[in-house]
């Protein structure tokens, strides 16, 4: 079975800060036994790396400089969905706290404070709406 996975969790330095967040090797090996992993980074589709960090404010995604990046994030989410449809991918394994890939938590500004709120990122939300199952990095064993 094919599973799309946040690319930064495979050690690719595609995060906003130009770094990666690799999974523990044992967990990754177990995933590889179970799934054919398809790495994907939605933010790389329309944004450079490194890039200014961005957070939800309401339903918009605004970067640290106050620039609205929602369209760029949406482009990446749609590209992820297109790839899932093309490759018949039914599962997305996402990096938590990302405004794109977060499954249980995403980053947001609420009342002027930076926080992690209980909501999915934009890509995870779109994939779920299209019937793709979501699996949080926090539920990998
Ligand atoms: S958008 Fe997703 S894959 Fe890309 S760096 Fe952020 S969490 Fe990782």
Q: Where are the domains of the chain?
A: 2-139
- Chain centroid to CA 58: 18
Angle between helices 70-87 and 122-129 (to 10 degrees): 40
pLDDT in tens, 9-62: 999 999 999 999 999 999 999 999 999 999 999 999 999 999 999 999 999 999
Q: How far is the CA of 33 from the centre of ligand 1 (A)?
A: 23
Q: How far is the CA of 6 from the centre of ligand 1 (A)?
A: 6
Question: Is any ligand 1 atom within 6 A of the Cβ of residue 105?
Answer: no
Q: How far is the CA of 101 from the centre of ligand 1 (A)?
A: 6
CA pair distance 23, 37, nearest whole angstrom: 13
Q: How far is the CA of 107 from the centre of ligand 1 (A)?
A: 13
pLDDT in tens, 93-138: 999 999 999 999 999 988 878 889 999 999 999 999 999 999 999 9
Question: Is any ligand 1 atom within 6 A of the Cβ of residue 7?
Answer: yes
CA of 95, closest atom in ligand 1? 7
Backbone φ, ψ for residue 14 (5° rounding) = -110, 5
Question: Is any ligand 1 atom within 6 A of the Cβ of residue 10?
Answer: no
**Pair 87, 37: CB distance under 8 Å:** no
Q: 6 pLDDT band (50/70/90 cuts)?
A: very high
């Amino acid at each position: 079975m094919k599973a799309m996975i946040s690319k930064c969790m495979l050690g690719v330095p595609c995060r906003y800060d130009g770094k990666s967040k690799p999974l523990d090797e044992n967990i990754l090996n177990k995933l590889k036994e179970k799934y054919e992993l398809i790495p994907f980074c939605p933010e790389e589709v329309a944004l450079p790396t490194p890039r200014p960090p961005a957070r939800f404010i309401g339903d918009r995604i605004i970067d640290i400089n106050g620039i609205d990046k929602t369209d760029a994030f949406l482009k990446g989410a749609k590209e992820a969905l297109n790839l899932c449809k093309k490759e018949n991918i039914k599962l997305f394994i996402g990096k938590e706290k990302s405004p794109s890939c977060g499954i249980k938590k995403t980053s947001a500004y609420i009342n002027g404070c930076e926080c992690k709120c209980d909501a999915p990122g934009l890509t995870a939300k779109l994939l779920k709406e299209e019937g793709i199952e979501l699996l949080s990095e926090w539920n990998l064993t």
